[in-house]
């Protein structure tokens, strides 16, 4: 029996709650319910109103939804005049009472509203869904950003590492959990139950997830791991149906080949760093032969950047139409001879190309580099799926977690945005920069 998996499953059951039937409503508008909930003192009536608010929100039309978030944004914002008066009072007399009053005034009413709604059993997941709907509206309604700051502030507290429950996902896990792993997989689609089984059942495969006590049946994030010999250069090899299963004790490398955030409403609340550290600790204790921890990661922004780069640096080894043809047909035959050129461009993109804030353009790179990893290697033809071709011409990258240098690399990236790399990747990036500076490299070299 897997003791750690059994322990996590047992622990999670302590927090499970039965489904809650939402009260449909007593005729009050959703905004009237919010006003009454803020003003209420009774716990029972607060539960009742909180349930009604959640039920009413789930039934809002698109226009009503915008009106509701407008209400939260404007009518439940800070009272600036009160805040200024209490700031002046605290400057004059720094008593605990004045301090408490100032803290209360410095918080928008909508934060307290969300806290009171969250007292309803099972409401946490509904509030996560509410924020997911808010995020969809932000592009066209940037004023809602103030309300989103409050959601993110509260979720950062409610979903901090101390509340998260790690669980290993295995073939014997409940079917509703396995169904959600299939649904939420965001990197390499799981095609069917047989595909899922190949990822979680064999002895050389692992899947770990974080859960929250208020959402025990809905993973927040999960990572898929392959135990292998050597650093892999292709996800096709990892996901092959007829591959030879490796005895765990024969493996020397753990590969994080897919990390999926499951809850759109928790965007900006980071779990990945904690999950990776948790999994590394678990594997070190369980499989003593593992000495290396790497990823096999996508490069989601590469093709978009490459088109822009080609436009800025004409007469490249590969023309934009070659890339478009490969994406359209799903075939990389026309680019195969230029794989080394593509690897150089990818190295340049990952290491040298920065945004206005000085951070790498690629979101996956930012995630792993901030966690203390280094860019270890870049592989052509590593992901030949339609998505892999579409976003990066089939390229993938290994990020290496050197356990002795994680803190050093994290601090270097956090303080100066330093991108640590292997010598081979640095050579690729230097060659790309040399080519752009006019000393043209031979075609395909």
Residues noted as catalytic: 297, 368
**Tokens 């250069």 — which residue?**
233
Half-sphere exposure (Cβ direction) of 283: Cα atoms closer than 13 Å: 32
Query: 45-60 b/e with 16+ CB inside 10 Å = b?
Result: ebbbbbbbbbbbbeee
Which residues, other chains included, contact 57 with Cβ-Cβ below 8 Å and sequence gap of 6+? 30, 65, 68, 126, 130
- 3-class SS at 284? helix
Work out the number of other CB atoms within 10 angstroms of the CB of residue 148.
19
Q: Whole-angstrom Cα distance, residue 311 to residue 306? A: 9
What are the φ/ψ torsions at residue 60 (nearest 5 degrees)? -65, 145
What order do you get walking across the sheet with 205-211 strand by strand?
A: 165-168, 205-211, 221-228, 253-261, 292-295, 396-401, 374-379
Tokens in use for 287? 């499989």
Residue 138 · residue 68 · CB < 8 Å: no
Nearest to 55 by CA among 99, 120, 106: 120
Nearest to 8 by CA among 182, 303, 208: 208
Q: Whole-angstrom Cα distance, residue 110 to residue 37? A: 11
Residue 317 · residue 443 · CB < 8 Å: yes
Query: 346-364 b/e with 16+ CB inside 10 Å = b?
Result: bbbbbbebeeeeebbbbeb
Cα 33 to the chain's mean position, in Å?
Answer: 34
- 3-class SS at 240? coil
Residue 275 · residue 167 · CB < 8 Å: no
Work out the number of other CB atoms within 10 angstroms of the CB of residue 279.
20
Residue 294 · residue 398 · CB < 8 Å: yes
Q: Whole-angstrom Cα distance, residue 375 to residue 353? A: 14
Tokens in use for 419? 């991108």
Element containing residue 223 per DSSP (H, E): strand 221-228
């Amino acid at each position: 029996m897997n003791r750690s998996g059994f322990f996590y499953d047992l622990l999670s059951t302590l927090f499970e709650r039965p489904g809650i039937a939402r009260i449909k409503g007593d005729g009050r508008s959703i905004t009237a319910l919010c006003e009454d909930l803020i003003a209420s003192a009774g716990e029972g009536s607060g539960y009742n109103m909180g349930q009604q608010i959640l039920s009413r929100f789930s039934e809002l039309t698109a226009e009503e939804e915008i009106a509701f978030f407008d209400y939260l944004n404007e009518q439940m914002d800070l009272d600036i005049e009160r805040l200024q008066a209490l700031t002046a009072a605290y400057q004059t007399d720094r008593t605990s009472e004045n301090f408490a009053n100032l803290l209360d005034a410095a918080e928008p009413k909508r934060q307290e509203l969300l806290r009171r709604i969250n007292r309803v059993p099972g409401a946490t997941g509904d509030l996560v869904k509410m924020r997911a709907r808010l995020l969809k509206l932000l592009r066209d309604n940037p004023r809602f950003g103030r309300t989103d700051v409050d959601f993110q502030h509260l979720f950062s507290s409610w979903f901090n590492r101390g509340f998260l429950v790690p669980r290993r996902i295995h073939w014997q896990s409940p079917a509703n959990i396995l169904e959600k792993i299939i649904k939420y997989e965001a990197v390499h689609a799981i095609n069917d139950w047989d595909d899922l089984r190949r990822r979680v059942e064999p002895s050389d495969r692992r899947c770990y997830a974080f859960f929250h006590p208020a959402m025990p049946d809905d993973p927040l994030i999960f990572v898929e791991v392959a135990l292998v010999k050597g650093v892999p250069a292709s996800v096709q090899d990892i996901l092959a149906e007829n591959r030879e299963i490796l005895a765990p004790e024969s493996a020397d490398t753990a590969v994080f080949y897919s990390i999926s955030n499951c809850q759109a409403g928790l965007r900006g609340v980071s779990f990945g760093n904690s999950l990776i550290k948790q999994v590394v600790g678990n594997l070190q204790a369980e499989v003593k032969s593992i000495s290396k921890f790497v990823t096999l990661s996508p490069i989601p922004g590469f093709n978009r950047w490459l088109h822009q780069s080609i436009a800025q640096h004409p007469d490249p080894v590969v023309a934009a139409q070659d890339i478009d043809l490969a994406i359209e047909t799903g075939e990389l035959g026309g680019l195969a001879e230029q794989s080394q050129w593509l690897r150089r461009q990818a190295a340049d993109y990952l290491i040298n190309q920065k945004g206005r804030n000085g951070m790498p353009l690629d979101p996956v790179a930012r995630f792993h580099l901030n966690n203390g990893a280094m860019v270890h290697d870049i592989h052509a033809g590593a992901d030949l799926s339609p998505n892999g071709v579409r976003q990066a011409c089939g390229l993938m990258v290994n990020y290496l977690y050197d356990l002795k240098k994680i803190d050093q690399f994290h601090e270097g990236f956090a303080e100066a945005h330093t991108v640590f790399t292997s010598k081979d990747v640095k050579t690729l990036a230097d060659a790309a920069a040399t080519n752009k500076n006019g000393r043209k490299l031979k075609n395909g070299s």
